[in-house]
Amino acid sequence: MTKLQIIGAFRKSEDGAILVFVAVALSVMIGMAALAFDFGRVTTTQAELQSFADNVALAAAGELDGKIDSITRATNAAANMISDTQTFGVRNRDQTLSGEADYQLFFYSEPPNMETEPAQPAQLLDPADPASALVAAFVRVVVDDHEVDTPLAAATASLVGNAYRFGTVSAEAVAGFTLIACDITPMFICLPQPSLNLSAGQMVKMVSQGGGNDQWGPGNFGFLEANSVLGIDPAGACASAPAGQEDACALAASQAVSMCFSQRGVETSPGLSVGNMIAGFNTRFDRYDASSGQFQNDNKYDVDNFAAAPNVLDGWITQAQGDNCTSVPAPEYEVDGVIDPTATVGLPLDDCFENGGCSGGRIGDGDFSAGLQKYLTVNYGADFSAETPAGIPAWFPTTGTRQDIYNAEIANQSALEAILSAGGKAETSLPGCQPPSTGAANPRRRVIVTAGIDCVTYQSQLNGGSGVIPVTSFVEIFLVRPSESDGTGADAVIWGEVVGTIDSGTGGLGVGGILHDVVQLYR
């Protein structure tokens, strides 16, 4: 075969032609696999960094409770509580993610704009300024850039003679915190200075503020504004309340009214009359005077929404007269040495209120031992003349709180009624004006949850009757006696025993209102 023939045969031969296509296809498949490998490394690192950013933001936001050390605690929580791993990032070769070396924190009073913050910090707070901790509600976490090895990019850069560039990824997250309290009494109380704290068992003489430029001090109370978003539930107890009387209705209601308030800030509501506030609170004591008469036996209201407490032994004689009720004070126990056996008295106040030794005249110390002796003597006929007192039922909690006494009397109400009847008392512990229907009796009817605030710091907002004021803690209070006028008609007085406080550090007590710790990611 000639040379030309050999060349011709080679040109016509199809042997091995598939190898060309295999080579091309293999190159494409290898390239695609390498591309997927590079892309997978980048997206995996991105997901790891985003998870880390989210967790850091949530940990930090959970400490932003409006207290003076909130930013410090938020920074420490982020640094000490959260650690994670990253698989492919070149930064941090040990693959750990933890501490401030991997991220930056920025604090805000309003949700930041992710497109401009922190480059143009409209609401960016200075962590070194103590005032920032009081308003910091949101935190932005910016995780530092991490470079990722990308083999395909490296190979391609080598082939074309360019410098190799790592893939770069980062992550950001924004989280915020607040404590929301729902179905609470729409009122606030000024906490004692400088502790801003009330202890369980303490008694507080809560006095309404006369208004104007009067100074707000410990024990003063006022009312909160219920706005259209966090306000009266249209399906709740006060759905039928006349316009302008929703707040007064909420004071009287025994069932949920769905008023929600944020620990981040509440607005005060001036203008509720002394008479209306006293009347609203006293429905709990089977008294339906003045404006609260609308809640008694009214077809437009569910009567159980405004029923009295199951135990109303309070030193007042209440009697139903048709569709109305009358309430008069029980007779004095002793007048000029003469004992009236029909007399009764309400639960005792702290002894310091009787002897003038209470702090500021409004904050008690929880000691009511002398008053308890009188309570047992007058209502139960107990005898303290001997070394060992006589006539005290075995079920009576002589070392408990006033709320313990109230609950024990409910649990043993038949025995209590027998004692009152045998003593010829004019008052009964059973509500007669508007008792709850069978099975609807609520022992917590005489418990309120109110917002405790720092009235000294926010004096100007209170006097102005407007502005947002942060809540130091929500305070649960047991109503010891009916509300009353201060004697001049200018202010109302509410006698309450502190059950406990609820704040972001303790969480909900599971009593009174419904408390929600709301910590969430916004971006």
Long-range contacts at 273-276 (CB < 8 A, ≥ 24 apart): 274/208, 274/485, 274/489, 274/490, 274/491, 274/492, 276/245, 276/248, 276/251
Same domain, 290 and 348: yes
Query: Cα–Cα–Cα angle for 265, 459, 476, nearest 5°?
Result: 50
DSSP calls for 300-355? TS-GGGGPPPS---SSEEEEEETTEEEEEEPPPSEETTEE-TT----SPPPHHHHH
How many folded domains does the chain comprise?
2
243 and 337 assigned to the same domain? yes
Whole-structure pTM value? 0.73
Per-residue pLDDT of the chain (523 residues; tens, 9 = 90+): 676 666 666 566 655 556 655 555 555 555 555 555 556 667 777 787 888 888 888 888 888 877 778 888 888 888 876 666 665 555 444 455 655 567 888 888 777 766 665 555 556 777 778 777 777 888 888 887 777 766 665 555 555 445 555 567 778 888 887 777 777 788 899 999 888 889 899 999 999 876 555 788 899 988 887 654 445 666 677 777 777 677 778 888 876 676 677 777 777 776 667 788 888 889 899 988 877 877 776 666 777 788 889 999 999 998 877 777 888 999 999 998 899 999 999 999 999 998 888 988 899 999 999 999 999 999 999 999 988 899 999 999 999 999 999 999 999 999 999 999 999 999 999 998 888 876 667 888 899 888 898 988 888 878 765 567 888 888 999 999 999 887 776 788 999 999 988 754 443 333 345 666 677 787 7
Residues 309 and 452 reside in one and the same domain: yes
Domain check: are 139 and 262 in the same one?
A: no
Question: Which of these three, 147, 177, 207, is where a domain ends?
Answer: 177
The amino acid sitting at 237 is: A
Is 48 within the bounds of a domain? yes
Say if residue 137 is in the same domain as residue 258: no
| Single residue among 122, 149, 177 that ends a domain in this structure | 177
Residue 220 belongs to a domain:
yes
- Per the CB < 8 A criterion, the answer to whether 120 and 52 are in contact is no
What is the Cα–Cα distance from 322 to 483, expressed in whole angstroms? 24
Closest by CA to 362, choosing from 477, 188, 205, is 205
Predicted pLDDT at 324:
77
Residue 12 lies in a domain: no
**Residue appearing with tokens 């404006």:** 291
Question: What is the Cα–Cα distance from 264 to 472, expressed in whole angstroms?
Answer: 9
Residue 10 lies in a domain: no
Q: Nearest CA to 353 among 456, 202, 134?
A: 202
Considering the domain boundaries, does residue 294 fall inside one?
Answer: yes
Based on the domain organization, do 72 and 200 belong to the same domain? no
The pLDDT assigned to 166 comes to 57
480 in Cβ contact with 281 (< 8 Å): no
- Alpha-carbon distances of 371 from 207, 308, 329, 375, 377, rounded to whole Å: 21, 25, 18, 6, 10
pLDDT score, position 299: 61
CA-based nearest residue to 453, from 185, 216, 200:
216
* Whether 210 and 149 share a structural domain: no
**Same domain for 158 and 191?**
no
Query: Within a domain: residue 8?
Result: no
* Amino acid letter, 287: R
Beta-sheet pairing, 220-223 with 203-208:
parallel
Q: Which residues contact 391 (CB under 8 A, 6 or more apart)?
A: 376, 380, 381, 382, 383
Total H helices, total E strands in the chain: 12, 20
Residue span of the structural domain in which 153 resides? 27-177
CA distances from 272 to 117, 159, 369, 411 (A): 43, 82, 36, 36
Amino acid 404: pLDDT: 96
Question: Parallel, antiparallel, or unpaired for β 187-190 and 447-453?
Answer: parallel
The pLDDT of residue 6 is: 60
Based on the domain organization, do 83 and 203 belong to the same domain? no
Domain boundary among 177, 194, 214: 177
Q: What are phi and psi of 13, to 5 degrees?
A: -70, 140
- Is residue 347 one of the residues assigned to a domain? yes
Q: What pLDDT is attached to residue 504? A: 42
- Quick check: 190 and 204 in contact, CB under 8 A? no
**According to the model, what pLDDT value does residue 509 have?**
36
Residues 411 and 492 in one domain: yes
Do 477 and 332 share a domain, yes or no?
Answer: yes
Q: Please report whether residue 19 resides in a domain.
A: no
Q: Tokens at residue 326, please?
A: 């009358």
Considering the domain architecture, whether residues 170 and 192 belong to the same structural domain is answered as no
